[in-house]
Structure 1
Amino acid sequence: MRISSKLVGVGVLALMTGCSSLPSLSSLNPFSKPKTEQPAALVELKGTMAVRTAWKLDIGKAGSTSFSPALAGNTVVVAGGDGDIARVDAASGKQLWRTKAGTELSAGVGTDGNLIVVGGAKGTVLAFDMDGNKLWTSQLSSEILSAPVVGQGIVVARSLDNRIVGLDAKTGEKKWTVQRTSPALTLRTSPGMLINGSDVIIAQPAGRLSSFILATGAPRWDLEVGVARGATELERVTDIGGAPVLFEGEVCAVSYQGRVGCFDAANGSVKWTRDLSSEVGVAVDQRFVFAPDDKGALFAFNRDTGSNAWKNDKLAFRRLSTPVSYGRAVAVGDYQGIVHFLSREDGSFLARAATDGSAVIGTPLVAGSHLIFQTQNGTVAAIAVE
């Protein structure tokens, strides 16, 4: 999520959540002078690739949290902060159903194609069937910012106090709980989770990535993506802000004030890492790992070696979203809801598309020939690449 310039008091949040969180990535030091960097102006673009908006849907504003669409077969499931959940046809945008959770939401969406799970603003996990019928609710210890995930009959949810819970997918009953410690300061972001066969891989505070056995919550491996540096707690903040990505047996991730890298998903061994600071996640394809840094530059790294393939810094300070790779392009949204399409080979601009004028949030989704983006104001936009 994007954040104001205030630093949340350590003592207050320690009482509330068990650790402190910083409400801002844009201005972490409250004693420093205000930043004067202006977002790069967009130059006129003569597009060399045809893109168009295939359909749009309003699901409700995200508020101060972040939501990502989820793919279920040939449909897309989306949720908004006001509590609306909808399932739409990915090709046409036709709404198959729409329901209300009965509470404000703070995280979503997770699905395995049989169950839909979201996080409620007051720490509840809510489960629905694929027709939108509510099945169960389970209460967690604190606020949920990360989208729950489903696999092997288990729903995994993580609360802000870094308590990870495995729930029975049929009943919502708690099967296991893992409590991990957090540093004195953490970023108020939505570190992601993903299912890897019989395991779940979870991004955690302090730049750590951990794998747990789904059935029991037993640890499989744990590693550092970002290595804390600096003399103060503020300088040592190195949380993973976006979702890790699984690709061909490797998991890739990036951290704030840390590193980007790829690791063996089975045992956590390091394949490669490079220094990078990012507030959002990565995109991965057969050849490249794409990651924007916190200054608005988009990098492409060779997936096999981690060597730098190219860098585009023409979107400086435009608060880039998690990118997505599709065909010959990599697409990334910005704070004005504009989606930029760049060549995956050299980073040159190919096309541009607008959404609703508010920031693109969460992790974009590939659904057939469409790329699905969700904005802070609640627009879900499907952009067709032709």
Structure 2
Amino acid sequence: MRIAITRRVLRSAVLAVGMLSLAGCSMFADKNPRYEPAPLTEYAAGVSASIAWTAPVGSGGGYGFAPAVLGDAVYAATPAGQVGKLDLGSGRALWQTTLDGGLTAGVGSDGSTTAVAATGGTVIALNEQGAEKWRARASSAVDIPPAVGAGIVAVRSSDYRIQAFDAATGELRWSLQRPGPALALKTSMRMLVVEGLLIAGLPNGRLMAINAANGMVQWEGAVSHSQGATDLERINDVVGTPQIQGPLLCGVTYQGRMVCFDVSQGGRPVWEQRFSSKTGMGTDGQHAYAADQRDIVHAFGLTDGHEVWKQEGLRNRRLTAPVVVPQAVAVGDFEGYVHFLSRSDGKLLGRIQLGGDAIMSPLVATPRGVVVQTGSGNLVLVGVN
């Protein structure tokens, strides 16, 4: 027992050191201008962004807290324990509840079951009215949002285990574990449930497609392989949300690559680019978008991976993963700004500030605009014209 505890403490200490080195504004930033955030510059406005509505959902935010949008409803949770469902068109609260104790991740929903993760690896499911359905215990702490669909609530815990609980009863349906590295990132990561498959990225640089009903791995592919002499150098987590465009399944890693696989041909790699992202990627029918470690935003051709453009004007501004709306590509930054870039050439088209707190939660693109969960606990719909 003593050995296990020592290893846990050591791993936490190493993780903390790793996070310090990955911070966008490090303790050495003031000694090296190349790490300073780029100042905001003037540009020719190409879109108009405005706040359609703002709704308080609780207190705080963070990488493990991402809004979920289903039809005309948006779900959100905060570390302080608040969980709510709002009308996407108006921001009106449809239901809201406060759970005892702190939350570590949320929210996932299929419209019938809404799930969050609480301290100690507790998974909590709520029904359509926001009342508690059940609680279950994962094998360890959960710090990425649960994925809900196909009759399951799936979580990925800190011991690199993926577990699925029955959405109706909370009974454990299956559990799957892969060997994990000594060190992993704490950043934006999400799993998807699509057509009966759970799509998950792992800290070992791999993407997996798992049968949601029984936990059988249907496909597994390497986005990147770890390299380097130290634990920090070998970090190659799949970050952000796996992207699906037609037959293509795409992912990006930290200190690794961006790859698109063709799932209609056995999951063979179609193209790859040497790349490193801290927060993930976004796609549309033509391009794959991602910000690199220095927050330079890149666009690659979706079918062949050739670089289309890059935008350096937001360097070191600690950007979120890009999301795509019809008018532009949107990213949030450390000063509470949402920036809009041209999908065709990367030019800055617009920006809007939603407060001074850093935007860490992933943005969500909707037909009505971009949903943003701010660092202060507000949910905001930004309309774009």
Cα distance between partner residues in 2 of 1:265 and 1:198: 15
Cα displacement string for residues 59-97 of structure 1 (whole angstroms, at most 9, x for unaligned residues): 234466531100122010111010101111111111112
Task: Give the equivalent residue in structure 2 for 1:365.
Answer: 364
Q: Quick check: 2:188–2:362 contact (8 Å CA) kept in 1?
A: no
**Offset of residue 328 of structure 1:** 2.9
Cα distance between partner residues in 2 of 1:12 and 1:238: 26
One-letter code aligned to 1:22? L
Task: Give the equivalent residue in structure 2 for 1:302.
Answer: 301
1:342-357 matched pairs, under 5 angstroms: 342-357=341-356
Cα distance between partner residues in 2 of 1:303 and 1:276: 15
Q: Secondary structure at the match of 2:65?
A: coil
Report percent identity of matched pairs: 37
One-letter code aligned to 2:71? G
Gaps of 5+ in 2: none
Q: Quick check: 2:208–2:221 contact (8 Å CA) kept in 1?
A: yes
One-letter code aligned to 2:119? A
Query: Structure 1 or 2: larger helix share?
Result: 2
Task: Give the equivalent residue in structure 2 for 1:34.
Answer: 28
Task: Give the equivalent residue in structure 2 for 1:270.
Answer: 269
TM-score by structure 2 length? 0.92
Of 342-351 and 248-257, deviating more is 248-257
CA separation of 1:86/1:106 partners in 2, compared to 1, >3 Å: closer, same or farther?
A: same
Match of 1:184 among 179, 182, 185: 182
Task: Give the equivalent residue in structure 2 for 1:7.
Answer: none
Task: Give the equivalent residue in structure 1 for 2:15.
Answer: 22
Task: Give the equivalent residue in structure 1 for 2:225.
Answer: 227
Q: Quick check: 1:276–1:293 contact (8 Å CA) kept in 2?
A: yes
Cα distance between partner residues in 2 of 1:271 and 1:362: 30
CA separation of 1:247/1:95 partners in 2, compared to 1, >3 Å: closer, same or farther?
A: same
Q: Secondary structure at the match of 1:166?
A: strand
Q: Quick check: 1:154–1:169 contact (8 Å CA) kept in 2?
A: yes
**Offset of residue 367 of structure 1:** 2.6
Gaps of 5+ in 1: 1-9
Task: Give the equivalent residue in structure 2 for 1:284.
Answer: 283
CA separation of 1:140/1:348 partners in 2, compared to 1, >3 Å: closer, same or farther?
A: same
Of 141-150 and 334-343, deviating more is 141-150
Task: Give the equivalent residue in structure 1 for 2:236.
Answer: 238
Cα displacement string for residues 165-190 of structure 1 (whole angstroms, at most 9, x for unaligned residues): 11111000001111221112222334
Cα displacement string for residues 325-371 of structure 1 (whole angstroms, at most 9, x for unaligned residues): 11131010111110000100000011101112112123211232221
CA separation of 1:226/1:25 partners in 2, compared to 1, >3 Å: closer, same or farther?
A: farther
Task: Give the equivalent residue in structure 2 for 1:385.
Answer: 384
Q: Secondary structure at the match of 1:122?
A: helix
CA separation of 1:11/1:233 partners in 2, compared to 1, >3 Å: closer, same or farther?
A: farther
Task: Give the equivalent residue in structure 2 for 1:120.
Answer: 118
Q: Secondary structure at the match of 1:357?
A: coil
Task: Give the equivalent residue in structure 1 for 2:69.
Answer: 71
One-letter code aligned to 2:346? G
Cα distance between partner residues in 1 of 2:312 and 2:42: 16
Task: Give the equivalent residue in structure 2 for 1:101.
Answer: 99
Cα distance between partner residues in 1 of 2:250 and 2:143: 21
One-letter code aligned to 1:300? A
One-letter code aligned to 1:231? A
Cα distance between partner residues in 2 of 1:119 and 1:269: 34
Of 227-236 and 162-171, deviating more is 227-236
Cα distance between partner residues in 2 of 1:349 and 1:28: 26
CA separation of 1:221/1:27 partners in 2, compared to 1, >3 Å: closer, same or farther?
A: same
Task: Give the equivalent residue in structure 2 for 1:215.
Answer: 213
One-letter code aligned to 1:280? T
Q: Quick check: 1:17–1:142 contact (8 Å CA) kept in 2?
A: no
Q: Quick check: 1:297–1:315 contact (8 Å CA) kept in 2?
A: yes
TM-score by structure 1 length? 0.91
Of 69-78 and 355-364, deviating more is 355-364
1:154 aligns with 2:147: no
Count of aligned pairs: 375
Report the RMSD for the aligned CA atoms in angstroms.
2.2
Cα distance between partner residues in 2 of 1:345 and 1:371: 19
One-letter code aligned to 1:378? G
CA separation of 1:42/1:11 partners in 2, compared to 1, >3 Å: closer, same or farther?
A: farther
1:134 aligns with 2:127: no
Task: Give the equivalent residue in structure 1 for 2:256.
Answer: 258
CA separation of 1:337/1:28 partners in 2, compared to 1, >3 Å: closer, same or farther?
A: closer
CA separation of 1:352/1:187 partners in 2, compared to 1, >3 Å: closer, same or farther?
A: same
1:320 aligns with 2:314: no
**Offset of residue 33 of structure 1:** 8.4
CA separation of 1:215/1:21 partners in 2, compared to 1, >3 Å: closer, same or farther?
A: farther
CA separation of 1:83/1:186 partners in 2, compared to 1, >3 Å: closer, same or farther?
A: same
CA separation of 1:278/1:210 partners in 2, compared to 1, >3 Å: closer, same or farther?
A: same
CA separation of 1:206/1:128 partners in 2, compared to 1, >3 Å: closer, same or farther?
A: same
Q: Quick check: 1:19–1:184 contact (8 Å CA) kept in 2?
A: no
Cα distance between partner residues in 1 of 2:10 and 2:126: 27
Of 330-339 and 122-131, deviating more is 122-131
